[in-house]
Every structure is written in structure tokens, then in C-alpha cells.
Structure 1
Amino acid sequence: MARITLVQGDITAQEVDAVVNAANSSLLGGGGVDGAIHRRGGPEILAACEDLRRSHYGKGLPTGRAVATTAGRLPAGHVIHTVGPVYQVSGSDPWLLASCYRESLRVADELGARTVAFPAISTGAYGWPMEDAARIAVEAVLGAETNVEEVRFVLYDESAYQAFAEQIGLSEAE
């Protein structure tokens, strides 16, 4: 089972084997984490995503799936792109959100990655409530069969950090 660690900070600064991108289905960049990864990673990531669109994902990457590219100029070995579901008050599928984490870990295993940094997928523009997203993420990671040794949740602000800390049983003092 992977060890879970929490970091409040910038996911693009993580020195890990793979960083997970909360991508949109086009794989061609966007806002939030996706935009930050593309900006800091440079044109190599976009070029690799364009190649994926031309070859395997002409209609885009389906929600809940994951695929890897180069990390470009990021201090990580790879970027694993996953598309989270958009939250809707009625009809949101927690299975699809959990699938983002499971599929990313599956791809990480294929890459031989031992350290993986995740953002809080779907909690930005896609609107998933942070507390629920943290629960789903932690349960998915703890339930996954993986060779990844460390899953690092890199959380942008204090409230996100606290939501994940509660899920893994850390007190505010830790």
C-alpha cells in the first residue's frame, strides 16, 4: 500500500517520478492545475498531447481515464493526465472521480513510478466539493493495488490541505 503524504503548495514544483494533471478531455491545456502544468512544463507537454490526439484520442481522453506524457521542463519524470468529472448536484458519479486516481496509479505502475503527486482532481472549475473529493481520493488510493510507494497530495491552499488531512487522520497540529 502506498504511503500518503500531504503538501500545501505548487504541484509543478514537485520532484517526483510522475505528477498527475487534472486535465480536460482535449488534453490541450486549460486553466487551473492543467494550465499551470502546461505553462511550467513547456511546449514539450503540449506537443506530446497533440500526438496523443492524433493517434489514440482523436475525440479526447474520456472522463476517469489516464494517459502519460513527458514532463517537459517540470522536475518530474512524467505527467499523467486524467480527466475528472464535472460535479452536478444530482447525477455526479463518485466512481468516475475515484477512477481518475485508480487509473493514474495504473499508468504510474506501467511507467515504473514510485512517487506520484496528485492535485485535488475536479475540485476547481469542475466544482466537486472539497470534503467529498478528499474522501473519494483517499479511499481510492488506499484501495488501489499499486507498486507506487508514495502518493503525495499537493494541495493549493489551507482549506484543501485540512480536508485531506481529516481523511487521513492528521490533526491540525501535525
Structure 2
Amino acid sequence: MTINDDDDYVQEMRLAAKLHRLPGIYERDLTSRDVLRMATTSGRQVVLFDDVGVLAPGGPADVVLLRLDGMLDEGLHEPGFDPVDLLLYRGKREHVDTVLVAGEVLLEAGRLTKVDKAKVLDELRADAARARAMLKPEVRELVAALRPYIERYYASWFRERGAPHYHYNLRG
């Protein structure tokens, strides 16, 4: 799951890195490797699974293979650059070439291998149309009529706004 509908997991990692920066030149930021670890191997601690998040014999073998060519095409990188930095700060979903889940190839050369995307989208559109058709006009009218009262009721919940800043951006 991602914050928007582009399903770009690298973008989520980049956002996590930026949100966890502290102000000031002496503060230690998360490194690209810290963020990658958070997004991969550290996740297993959250879900309490010891057998996920690592590549090991007999393990589930979830692997993502990336194409570096699109990230390196500008020729701006010195020899010895950290490829994890490159991934975090220049990587995009279109750099994903191959995805294996539990050892099974689900994406190869950037194309889905097990799912007909067009067919799934057609089914979703049909389901959405059926759901809209079931919503009767009188229900829509009732919702529209009740909306101002509901908004007024909940408006009082947010009068106390608290601090106008995120604590990581607090300058004090």
C-alpha cells in the first residue's frame, strides 16, 4: 500500500527518509541503508515473522530486481557511488524489472506474468458501475441533506489544534 495511486514503494522510502530528518547541521539523518532496512528486513519484526525479510535457503525468496540504466543515464555519478543512495534518491517504479514472490516470477521485464491487467481493470469498472447503480437517488439526496449537520457536529472536535508544527521541525 502506498500514499497515492502510483504504487511506487521507492517513493514511500524517499518520503520516510525526508520526514525523519531533524533540523540542524549536526543532526544525524537516516541513511539510505537505514531506510532500505526499515522497508525490508526490519518489517519482519513488526509482523513478528522470523522467516521473512531475509534471503535464506528454504525461505520465501521475495526479490526485486532493478534496472540501473535509467538511474545512471545522466553520467553524474563518481566511481564508487553507493547504489542504495542512487535507489533512494533517483529510483522510480519504472526501474523495477523483475519481481519474485515466494520464488515465483510475478513481473518480468516490467510486465505482469500472472495477471491480465486490462481484464482486472474492466472487472473493477464493471463492479464500480454496479455499485453506483445500486445507490438510489433518494439516498444520495438524504446524504447531501445531512452533510451540513454532520460537518457542524464534527467541527467542534477539532477546535483545539495543538502545536502547529511537527516535532521534527521544531526549532527551539
* Superposed pair shares fold, TM > 0.5: no
Where relative contact order (Cα < 8 A, 6+ residues apart) is larger, the structure is 1
Looking at secondary structure, tell me which structure has more helix per residue.
2
Kindly name which structure, 1 or 2, has the bigger radius of gyration based on alpha carbons: 2
Looking at secondary structure, tell me which structure has more strand per residue.
1
Which of the five TM-score ranges fits, normalised by the shorter chain? under 0.3
TM-score when normalising by structure 2: 0.21
